Amino acid sequence: MIGVFDSGHGGLTVLRALVAAAPGRPFVYLGDHAAAPYGPRSEEDIYRLTVQGVERLFAQGCGLVVLACNTAAAVALRRMQRTWLPVAHPGRNVLGVLVPMVEAITRVPWMQDGPAADWRPEPRTVGVFATPATVASGSFPREIGKRAPDVQVVQQACPDLVPLIERGAGDAELAPAVRGYVRALLAQLDGRPLDAAVLGCTHYPLVAHLFAEALPPGVEVLCQPSLVARSLDNYLERHPEYVPAAGEAAGRLHFFTTGAAEPVGALAGRFFGRPTPFERLSP
């Protein structure tokens, strides 16, 4: 089975795309709702909680886990891959949602820490809307800058969006918040044009239409779920050892939370597109 981990509901937008791309593939989802949101937490807290969540998914029989949380991926992924996994869980792996977005923007594979040999400058300005922790980590500008030095990255933290979305706020309440964050990012550009906007949180696909309305005409809005689904398919082609065995709970979906199952499940359908029966997973 393949695990999908998030601090809350947002990763369900990624899981929805993964299931649509491969409906016969078994997945286990874990939302760390008891500790959410991760955005305001320290880097050490985020790393510790992410490791705990991945451990729980490994204990459920997952050999591969996707961090469907930009905050967790930005803060914890590289450290986990380099220092924790080789020692604690050799033969298992963890991927993150930040990787496919960086590859899509730069057109350079993640494992390549510099521009491609045939790379030609393509000056562009990309805006990143994300949680405070993702912005503070500097992961998007750092990883994009390594691979495409001529791409200027401007970031804008959006601290209110996840809490608003999680409590089921409607467009009337969400639209002013989105417009405010867009104005703040555009102000950083001082009149320079914006080419693309990255929605760097897996909650934000639910408000992509509001970003599209608030941004200047012609700005490309980049969402992660479809990019992650395509990236996972490519990864499994290169690493068949992580492909679930034939007949291994084909198409089964398990939904776990560290919080209270009933209220989590009640809101989850908005993210996943259909009812999702959650179970509480005790430590």
State yes or no: 137 annotated in a binding site: no
9 is in an annotated binding site: no
- 62, 69, 158, 223: which one is catalytic? 69
Residue 70 labeled ligand binder: yes
Residue 93, annotated ligand binder? no
223 is a catalytic site residue: no
The verdict on whether 158 is a catalytic residue reads: no
**Signed CA dihedral, 230, 143, 159, 218: sign only:** negative
Query: Is 191 annotated as contributing to ligand binding?
Result: no
Ligand-binding annotation for 131, yes or no, is no
Annotated ligand binding at 171? The verdict is no
Q: Which residues are annotated as a binding site?
A: 6-7, 38-39, 70-71, 202-203
Q: Which residues are annotated as a binding site for substrate?
A: 6-7, 38-39, 70-71, 202-203
Q: Which residues are catalytic?
A: 69, 201
